[in-house]
Amino acid sequence: MKELVQYLARSLVNNPDAVEVKETQGEIASVLALKVAKEDLGRIIGKQGRTAKSIRTILNAAAAKANRKVVLEIVEER
């Protein structure tokens, strides 16, 4: 799942080297934290969150096939 998010994010942003995905295994679900360069944050979120929703939909479809639950968090650097 981590590789899928990394691939999708790198395909969307201008600075693919700044893409970072951390996976945390929980009891109920895995949590994927996605960090991108500050100037690419809008590309990942998209207008009204459509791109982020699409990434989550693809991720949930892949997770369902593997009989797992996955949550995607987009982390904003301060």
pLDDT tens digits, 21-53: 999 998 889 999 999 999 999 999 999 999 999
Question: How much is the pTM?
Answer: 0.89
pLDDT band per the 50, 70, 90 thresholds, residue 78? low
pLDDT band for position 69 (cuts 50, 70, 90): very high
| Percentages (nearest 5) of helix, strand, coil residues in the chain | 55, 25, 25
- Compute CA 12 distance to the chain's CA centroid, rounded to the nearest angstrom: 11
Q: Residue type at 2? A: K
Check if the beta carbon of residue 26 is closer than 8 Å to that of residue 34. Answer: no
Taking residues 10-23, what's their average pLDDT? 95
What percent of the chain stands above pLDDT 70?
Answer: 99
Q: Which CATH class is domain 2-75?
A: alpha beta
Dist. CA 17–CA 75, nearest whole Å = 16
**Can you give the residue ranges of every domain in the chain?**
2-75
